Amino acid sequence: MSRKKGKLIVISGPSGTGKGTVCAQLLEDKMNDFSVSMTTRSPREGEVHGREYYFVTREEFERNIEAGNFLEHATVFDNLYGTPKDMVVNRLERGHNVILDIDVQGGLQVKKAMPEAVLIFILPPSLSELRKRLEGRGTEDAEKVEKRLGEALNEIKLIGEYDYYLVNNDIDEAVALARSIIAAESARVPEAVKPIIREYENENTEK
């Protein structure tokens, strides 16, 4: 079987669902790569251009938007952030999977740009558990916790646009299930199955 293209895996889910941890563990597999985003925000101390982000001017970012170079982009606190398409495509062509940790709006943009992307939604065990986790962080006051819960519910309402969901009760189980999803997606019969059949026919006629 010739080298298969990698899979583009989008992981989304409300803040507090452990999505970042799931992504970090998936990235320990050497077949899984992350993608470096482009941003207009200034580098913080220790951040390196091309490692944490590609740091660019607003003009350059906007040129990239117009050229259709992003799989998705968004504005966060006046700064622009985006996922450059060419980096992702290069890695997929080399047979690596690319794991994108992005919000639901970004996930939907990616699906539109690359319909073959696999979208995984991470759910907290329940909203009350999510509340507990957000309160447990101790970094958000009661009002902010309520705001985040409302945002979570709005994100969850878009779950129908996603391909898979997993409930993060246990981080190891969640990661194992995400790995199973990636493995299964790599075992899908491709729309164009001609290559598989041709290989068998060639071998058969060569006997």
Interacting residues toward its own copies by CB under 8 A? 1, 121, 123, 126-128, 131, 149, 153, 156-157, 159-160, 162-167, 177, 179-181, 183-185, 187-189, 193, 196-197, 200-201, 203-204, 207
Least distance between its own copies and beta carbon 197 (Å): 6
Nearer Cβ to its own copies (93/146): 146
Nearer Cβ to its own copies (60/199): 199
Least distance between its own copies and beta carbon 59 (Å): 40
Whether 117 and 181 have beta carbons less than 8 Å apart is answered as no
Least distance between its own copies and beta carbon 64 (Å): 31
What is the distance between the terminal CA atoms of the chain, rounded to a whole angstrom?
18
Least distance between its own copies and beta carbon 93 (Å): 21
The continuous run of DSSP H or E covering 21 comes out as: helix 19-26
Helices 127-137 and 142-156, axial angle in degrees (round to 10): 140
Q: What is the dihedral of CA 195, 197, 203, 207, to 10 degrees?
A: -160
Could you identify the residue written with the tokens 């969640």?
174
Nearer Cβ to its own copies (64/97): 97
